Amino acid sequence: GLLTRLQTSATTTRTLLPSSSCSQNIPSCLWKLGRLNHVAIAVPDLEKAQSLYKDVLGAQVSETVALPEHGVYTVFVELGNTKLELLHPLGEESPIASFLQKNKTGGMHHICIEVDDIKAAMTELKKKKIRILSEEPKIGAHGKPVIFLHPKDCHGVLVELEQA
């Protein structure tokens, strides 16, 4: 009766779920997405932003680090399961300076997701017509290779991929 049909349906569902999962059984995929590393927020006043997270919210906040190759100052806010990256312009040519010209109070700039093989990810993403904003990975704030994916190819979100 009904119980037998439900048990059969549950067994079928359990059997189908793993094979229908895109991330597990795609033989052509030579790389894999990992965890969310951080969410980056562009801020017009870095000291004020650091104070909010450290003094008001009680978070552990890193020292300010200059990354001239990326044109930014960075500060990381530890959240336990991930981090926030506070970004402030380093020079007039900084991509964060142009972002803040359009968003005077700051705002979310990008998300960073770890990958297990950044070179394989680049190769496959190019084949899938996803634009990468540099020809080669650059060394990011964590001392690891990173690339950025064009926001128009990622539903309006600037996505950073970082070698895990």
- pLDDT in tens for each of the 164 residues of the chain? 544 444 444 444 444 444 334 455 545 678 999 999 999 999 999 999 999 999 999 999 999 999 999 999 999 999 999 999 999 999 989 999 999 999 999 999 999 999 999 999 999 999 999 999 999 999 999 999 999 999 999 999 999 999 99
Token representation of residue 32 = 């894999």
pLDDT for res 73: 98
pLDDT for res 29: 75
pLDDT for res 131: 98
Domains of the chain in sequence order: 35-163 (3.10.180.10)
Rounded Cα–Cα distance for residues 39 and 25 (Å): 28
Closest alpha carbon to 148 in 157, 158, 156: 158
Sequential DSSP letters for 55-102: IIT--EEPPPEEETTTTEEEEEEE-SSSEEEEEEESSTT-HHHHHHHH
Q: Which helix (H) or strand (E) holds 147?
A: strand 145-149
